[in-house]
Amino acid sequence: MSDTTQILRAFDEAPPTRVRDYVDLLKPRVMSLVVFTGLVGVMIAPGHLHPFTAALAVLAIALGSGAAGCINMWYERDLDALMARTANRPLPAGRVAPDDALGLGVLLSIFSVLLMAVSTNFVAAGLLTAAILFYVFIYTVWLKRRTPQNIVIGGAAGAFPPMIGWAAVTGDVSLISIALFGLIFLWTPPHFWALALYRSDDYRRAGVPMLPVVAGPRETKRQMLIYTFVLLPVALVPTLMGAVGWLYGAVALVLSLSFIGHAVTVWRAADDATGHGPARRMFRFSLIYLAALFAALPVDQLVSRMLAG
């Protein structure tokens, strides 16, 4: 048999490579909201980027986020195998080899940072590097398996994207971009603990010290309520600082009051499985909350500009 025939046969006999599995390693659904908040940072920052450069900056954030998610899945393949929600992921299910996932994550990390540096500036590239390192080392490797405050501190990783987008345009960090960071930072605990409340059996089985497992549902609900209350004034900061007007301010107020409403409903619900419904609804609402809040920022700016003639 010729070499060519052997190679072709090897190809035929190889298990089908599922592109979908490699895409899944990048956590595309989480990435969509991460990218959206980064894009809004680009859109509302003072200054102008050529649309092609802006697209490259947003692509760099997307790839950086995917890379960090990919390394996270590589590191957590043992935990993921133990949890119903994650057991069928490409690594625990054995459809992708661990070394391939790690290789993809590391390569994409390097590529995303280089892309950001070449297309925009070193401040944005530095912030992207910090976000990736934070998610991989501070959250995934260090805190997640050690303390129920894991997502409070580690959650900072997901708060970087608007700041990165802003820096891609201005080359700088500003009070507004810090406020947007603070907003996502405070949003993350109620976002995640809502899910952790109805997935606490998973986390208990895997031995991950999430707050509902360690401190119980009552204490978790109390802390969620506190975070949603603190979130309200922080969500209003862009308006109070004059970066956007009261259209955003009104949206932020209504959404933040609804988020508090969800937290109150969750707090009043029973601490057993019958309380899962309100927690699920609050988790879903957390995604709408962040998406709508960030959508309101550029819309407000656009409307203000149109009204100003």
Ligand X SMILES: CC(C)=CCC/C(C)=C/CC/C(C)=C/COP(=O)(O)OP(=O)(O)O
CB of 132 within 8 A of CB of 106? no
Q: Which of 9, 18, 85, 205 binds ligand HEM (CB under 6 A)?
A: 85
Which of the residues 126 through 155 are near ligand HEM (CB under 6 A)? Answer: 139, 151, 154-155
Residue 160 interacts with ligand X (CB under 6 A)? yes
Separation CA 181–CA 130 (nearest Å): 13
Which of the residues 231 through 270 are near ligand HEM (CB under 6 A)? Answer: none
**Measured from the CB of residue 262, what is the shortest distance to ligand HEM in angstroms?**
16
Convert residues 82-111 into a mask of x (bound to ligand X by CB under 6 A) and - (unbound): ----x-------------------------
Separation CA 207–CA 145 (nearest Å): 8
Piece of 69-77, 169-177, 178-186, 244-252 that binds ligand X (CB under 6 A) = 69-77
Residue 33 interacts with ligand HEM (CB under 6 A)? yes
Residue 304: exposed, middle, or buried by beta-carbon count in 10 A (0-12, 13-18, 19+)? Answer: middle
Nearer to ligand X by Cβ, of 209 and 298: the residue is 209
Piece of 11-19, 61-69, 215-223, 301-309 that binds ligand X (CB under 6 A) = 61-69
Q: Which residues bind ligand HEM (CB under 6 A)?
A: 29-30, 33-34, 37, 85, 139, 151, 154-155, 158, 184, 188, 191-192, 195, 287, 290
Q: Which residues bind ligand X (CB under 6 A)?
A: 27, 30, 34, 61, 64-65, 68-69, 72, 76, 86, 128, 131-132, 135, 144, 157-158, 160-161
